[in-house]
Copies of this chain bind each other. A is one copy, B any other.
Amino acid sequence: MSNAERRLSELGFQLPRPAVLPPGVRIPFSWVRVHGSRAFASGHGPLAPDGTMAGPVGQVPSEVSLEQAQSAGVLALLSMLSSLKQAIGSLDRIDAWLTVTGFVNAAPDFELTTMVLNPASELLLEVFGPEVGAHARTAVGYSTLPFRLPVVISAELEIAGATA
């Protein structure tokens, strides 16, 4: 088990299983694109432990509360970490987080998109430490997200070692 997963486990979190797509959904793209030492994570939504989509869905805060959206942000981060583990073998190969982009399914007058993503950013810093985990971030509101997910997260990272 990687150090990152041990820290997650100590904090009471676990990585979900790989995403189980709804019937009929194709994804002609990579959950994580690795090229040399660079890794790009596609937009990830919140997953239940078994890899199925985790609810609730809809707009923040009218259909999904701020607190629910914050939890969804953490689950989206965990699903991204699960994809990263699959793609690069171990989360301990992550040398540096560079950017985290947070997408919030937001009502037009919702102004707390920053707060929606903060628990995910804080977890990332706790798990990877302040040097590796530091990241630039944008977290803004979108008129709609795939499957009406409340939060989606993507990222760019630097990884160590050669890719098999």
Q: Which residues on A are within 8 Å of B, measured CB to CB? A: 25-33, 35, 38, 40-43, 59, 96-101, 103, 106-114, 118, 121-122, 125, 134-148, 152, 154, 156, 158
Q: Which 10 A-B pairs have the closest CB atoms?
A: A141-B144, A40-B136, A43-B138, A29-B137, A33-B136, A28-B121, A143-B143, A42-B136, A114-B146, A28-B122
Contact A141 B139 (CB under 8 A): no
Tell me the number of copies of this protein.
3
Q: Give chain B residues whose Cβ lies under 8 Å from the Cβ of A109.
A: 144, 148
Q: Give chain B residues whose Cβ lies under 8 Å from the Cβ of A156.
A: 40, 99
A-B contact pairs, 11 of them (CB 8 A): A30-B134, A42-B137, A43-B138, A107-B144, A113-B145, A113-B146, A114-B147, A139-B146, A140-B152, A141-B142, A142-B142
Contact B96 A35 (CB under 8 A): yes
Distance to closest chain B CB from A106 (angstroms): 5
Contact B41 A118 (CB under 8 A): no
Contact B28 A158 (CB under 8 A): no
Q: Give chain B residues whose Cβ lies under 8 Å from the Cβ of A158.
A: 35
Contact A142 B140 (CB under 8 A): yes
A158 to chain B: closest residue by CB: B35
Contact B28 A125 (CB under 8 A): yes
